[in-house]
Amino acid sequence: MNIKENIKTLVIKKPLKLDCGKTINNFPLAYETYGSLNKNKDNAILVFHALTGDQFVTGINPVTKKDGWWSYAVGPNKSIDTNKYFVICANVIGGCMGSFGPSHKNPDTNKIYGTDFPVITINDMVNAQVNLLDHFEIKKLFSVVGGSMGGMQVLQFISNYPDKANTVVPIACTSNHSAQNIAFNELGRQAIASDHNWSDGKYLYNNTLPDKGLSVARMAAHITYLSKKGLQEKFGRKLQERDALKFGFDADFQIESYLRYQGSVFVDRFDANSYLYITRAMDYFDLVKQFDGNLSNAFKKTKAKFFIISFTSDWLYPTQENKDIVIALNAIGADVGFVEIKSDKGHDSFLLDVPDFLKTLKNFLDKSYSER
């Protein structure tokens, strides 16, 4: 069965001028929806996915056959209650789950783009996705929600379209990528590029995938999503299916085996060039610079209600970076709430079963919805 059968796609006819200067049109935007749009069309939530996410937010992902990436938070009676809200999520452009990306063919040359695909930005991603509002004839979303890179899209979205959402929930994110974040992304990109099979991005012609490089990229990144304490408690120095060290380079430790597994399953579902493009988009994200050094100006035009959430053990997008957004909003008297959730699960906390987080998100959305 062709997996594409399970992917809903909107072809965006309207030309989109990208930040890199190129213009794209007639490009596909793959999306999924959950719940149903009410008569007034005022119960829609646009969810933005993170680096390796996709449009299959919850339920079983029809392509990977695994649970959707935000199954803990999205679904009937969950934080983002699909009995109540109409949830839309699109695969970002540059991605590999059906939206216009580097594994697509260039219509001009009939060749797969590879690294000839234009460099895209977070701004380009949200400018592509805003077309979904027209498609569903939604004038104003009830909320825009996302964690990590999804949170960056949330911030960019409300900055670009200040009257298109009532509530704004950026989670575990930042207004610009720190040197440390860029460094980790570069490590991932270099791991891919140094895999011989990558072939300057033309691997789809050779039928040899840069699996090794992509899996190392994923392993390195995965560490940054966890916390030292979380890792220590889960794995410590436990050995992997053996009683003693083997004095070799097999995966002696459980943590090694775990990371190798994470790397190996990732390559089955993700495209190496998409990884390059999306990490680049994150690195280029700098909402502060877009507004000449004053983040407050990004939010001056909106009356939306913000709620910002960070996690104590998140060292990739630490509380202070989330708080900088709160500070910028308070500086202009915006309606902003903020909470740092206690969790040992690191940056990944927003994706996991962290009851305080899930409860707080639900409370914020449901209360705001009933008071709208």
The β-bridge partners of 88 are 33, 46
Please say if 257 is a catalytic residue.
no
What SS3 state is found at 354? Answer: coil
- Identify whether the C-beta of residue 88 lies closer than 8 Å to the C-beta of residue 185: no
Identify the residue among 18, 24, 265, 327 touching another protein (CB under 8 A): 327
Please state whether beta strands 165-171 and 44-48 pair in parallel, antiparallel, or not at all (unpaired). Answer: unpaired
Comparing CA positions, the residue from 131, 96, 137 lying closest to residue 270 is 96
Contact call for residue 78 and another protein (CB under 8 A): no
231 binds another protein (CB under 8 A): no
* Spatial CA neighbour of 52 closest among 40, 44, 43, 61: 61
Provide the sign of the torsion angle of the four alpha carbons 164, 154, 97, 352, taken in this order: negative
Catalytic residue among 99, 177, 347, 368: 347
- Pick from 119, 187, 338, 352 the residue near another protein by CB under 8 A: 338
Out of 44, 342, 345, 347, point to the residue binding another protein (CB under 8 A): 342
Residue with tokens 């079983």: 60
How many Å apart are CA 340 and CA 322, to the nearest integer? Answer: 9
| Closest approach of another protein to the CB of residue 341, in Å | 7
Question: Could you say which of 92, 141, 295, 341 contacts another protein (CB under 8 A)?
Answer: 341
Residue range at the interface with another protein (CB under 8 A); choices 179-187, 245-253, 259-267, 328-336: 328-336
CB 332, min distance to another protein, A: 8
User: Would residue 163 show up in a list of annotated catalytic residues for this protein?
Assistant: no
The single residue among 326, 351, 353, 358 that binds another protein, judged by CB under 8 A, is: 326
R_g of the chain, CA atoms, integer Å? 20
271 is catalytic: no
Binding residues for another protein (CB under 8 A): 305, 307, 326-327, 330-333, 335-342, 356, 359-360, 363-364, 367-368, 370-371
**Catalytic residue set:** 148, 314, 347
